[in-house]
Amino acid sequence: MNLEQIKYHSCPNDDEDGILLVDIDEDMPETDENGDLQYYCPGCHSTFSSDDDD
């Protein structure tokens, strides 16, 4: 998996660039119960899933 390609995702709240959350221990992206990637938005200080803006 190329983390660089999925490192950022637009926040559904304010279109800021959300940053991919990664489990440091496993060196794998964190996912929710649906297997969707999790991102943290520095603009609104919230986390969101990669499918929230579908």
Interacting residues with Zn ion (CB under 5 A):
11, 13-14, 16, 41, 43-44
> In this complex, which beta carbon is closest to Zn ion, that of residue 28 or of residue 42?
42
Tell me how far apart the alpha carbons of residues 45 and 33 are, in angstroms, rounded to a whole number. 21
User: Looking at the chain, how many residues does it have?
Assistant: 54
Q: Are 20 and 9 in contact (CB under 8 A)?
A: yes
> In this complex, which beta carbon is closest to Zn ion, that of residue 22 or of residue 44?
44
Distance of closest approach, residue 40 Cβ to Zn ion, in angstroms: 9
Q: Which amino acid is at 39?
A: Y
Distance of closest approach, residue 44 Cβ to Zn ion, in angstroms: 3
